[in-house]
């Protein structure tokens, strides 16, 4: 009969290879769909692939060759903690409410101390710490390090996920952005998947001969959640389109289309936004000495993609953006400008036709 550790090594190698393949898949799909933080989710999968590869090599040297190498133990812990901190960064930046790279900075700063500790610790001390158990039952157990990177850090990621959602909800209640009910649904799904992932990853299952099959099956099932979590993000991510604005050079809005209500809006905030964008484009024109131009700016948690033509200013307001959205915006702005280039009054614009153009061209982004 094949020894248990041999089966486990093959399972770990298979999972590592699948992680490498799927990380490439997430990179491709994320790039194709324009998901802003797809690189983080791909790195999450790739780093877990490295972790399982390191774990399988450590088991091979220890069980087959009867050699214990400190390097593999360090790599195993290093890649596990790195993966968990990447997950934290991805959750912080999930819905686009935090400024770009803030999640990465927080995760990087938080990871410096434990990673330095892992890579500088001597072999004897590492072995002593690895023998510290948080829980040791008949069928389930967990060591200190495994509990930290596999259970605690994912739970912190879930908390970060809900904190950014609450911030999103709070800003929508203040009327600064439009609330989309599906954001709660996708946040809940992601949180549940990460929690299940933490249960599989944060605890070990006793390798008694009679429950070998159960143990291996649980490790294999856990693979599905490593794959599903990034794919859920890639396929459900919402760029959070808010408004499409058509503005006269004087700052008077001709049309402000709301993607939430699918109608024209005319409130004080919209007029202030029109004035703000006009001033920004005016300042940009003074610097570049060009009447026409393009800008992409971020104000708090909102992005503005702006295009100035000879007579109009066109702007798209969203929570997140990507190059596909920018390209689509340029095409729509060009199409609308050819139709209303000489019109200077809102009453002279066929608003129903304009709304159809905007809605039809951006329907794939929300």
Q: What is the DSSP string of 70-112?
A: HHHHHHHHHHHHHHHHHHHHHHHTTTS-SPTTHHHHHHHHHHH
Q: How far apart are CA 1 and CA 272, in angstroms?
A: 75
pLDDT tens figures, 37-69:
788 888 888 988 888 888 888 777 665 555 566
Name the residue with tokens 């004897």. Answer: 124
Per-residue pLDDT at 158: 93
Q: How far apart are CA 143 and CA 136, in angstroms?
A: 8
Average of per-residue pLDDT across 335-340: 85
Average of per-residue pLDDT across 223-231: 71
Given pLDDT bands bounded at 50, 70 and 90, which one contains residue 156?
very high
Average of per-residue pLDDT across 190-209: 75
CATH numbers and ranges of domains, the chain: 4-236 (1.20.1070), 241-365 (3.30.450.70)
pTM (2 d.p.): 0.73
Measuring CA to CA, which residue among 364, 349, 346, 274 is closest to residue 317?
Answer: 274
Average of per-residue pLDDT across 146-154: 87
Contact 265, 246 (CB under 8 A): no
Name the residue with tokens 């809006």. Answer: 265
pLDDT tens figures, 341-353:
777 787 778 888 8
H-type helices in the chain, by residue range? Answer: 4-33, 38-59, 70-92, 102-120, 123-130, 144-147, 153-173, 182-202, 212-236, 268-288, 323-340, 351-362
Return the bridge partners of 344, or none: none
Report which of residues 260 and 256 the model is more confident about.
256
Name the residue with tokens 């803030």. Answer: 102
Q: How far apart are CA 317 and CA 241, in angstroms?
A: 6
Per-residue pLDDT at 232: 74
Compute CA 284 distance to the chain's CA centroid, rounded to the nearest angstrom: 32
Contact 154, 201 (CB under 8 A): yes
Report which of residues 217 and 240 the model is more confident about.
240
């Amino acid at each position: 009969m094949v020894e248990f550790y041999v089966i486990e090594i093959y399972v770990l190698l298979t999972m590592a290879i699948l992680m490498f393949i799927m990380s490439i898949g997430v990179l491709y799909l994320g790039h194709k769909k324009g998901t802003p933080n797809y690189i983080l989710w791909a790195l999450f999968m790739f780093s877990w692939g490295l972790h399982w590869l390191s774990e399988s090599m450590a088991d091979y040297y220890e069980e087959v060759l009867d050699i214990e190498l400190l390097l593999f133990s360090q790599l195993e812990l290093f890649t596990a903690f790195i993966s968990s901190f990447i997950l934290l960064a991805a959750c912080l930046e999930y819905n686009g409410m935090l400024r770009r790279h803030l999640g990465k900075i927080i995760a990087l700063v938080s990871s410096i101390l434990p990673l330095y500790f892992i890579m500088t610790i001597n072999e004897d001390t590492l072995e002593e710490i690895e023998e510290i158990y948080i829980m040791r039952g008949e069928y389930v157990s967990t060591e200190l390090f495994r509990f930290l990177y596999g259970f605690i850090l994912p739970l912190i990621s879930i908390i970060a996920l809900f904190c950014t959602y609450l911030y999103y909800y709070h800003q929508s209640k203040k009327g600064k952005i439009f609330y989309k009910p599906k954001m709660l649904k996708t946040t809940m799904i992601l949180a549940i998947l990460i929690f299940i992932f933490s249960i599989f990853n944060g605890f070990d299952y006793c390798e008694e001969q009679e429950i070998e099959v159960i143990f291996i099956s649980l490790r294999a099932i856990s693979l599905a959640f490593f794959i599903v979590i990034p794919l859920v993000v890639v396929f459900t991510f919402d760029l959070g389109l808010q408004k499409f604005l058509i503005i006269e050079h004087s700052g008077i809005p001709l049309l402000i289309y709301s993607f939430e209500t699918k109608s024209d809006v005319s409130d004080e905030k919209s007029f202030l936004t029109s004035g703000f964008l006009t001033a920004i484009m005016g300042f940009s024109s003074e610097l570049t000495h060009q009447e026409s131009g393009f800008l992409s700016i971020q104000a708090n948690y909102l992005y503005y993609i702006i295009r100035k033509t000879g007579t109009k200013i066109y702007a798209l307001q969203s929570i997140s953006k990507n190059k596909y959205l920018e390209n689509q915006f340029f095409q729509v702005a060009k199409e609308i400008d050819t139709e209303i280039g000489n019109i200077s009054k809102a009453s002279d614009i066929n608003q129903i036709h304009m709304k159809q153009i905007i809605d039809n061209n951006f329907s794939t982004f929300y």
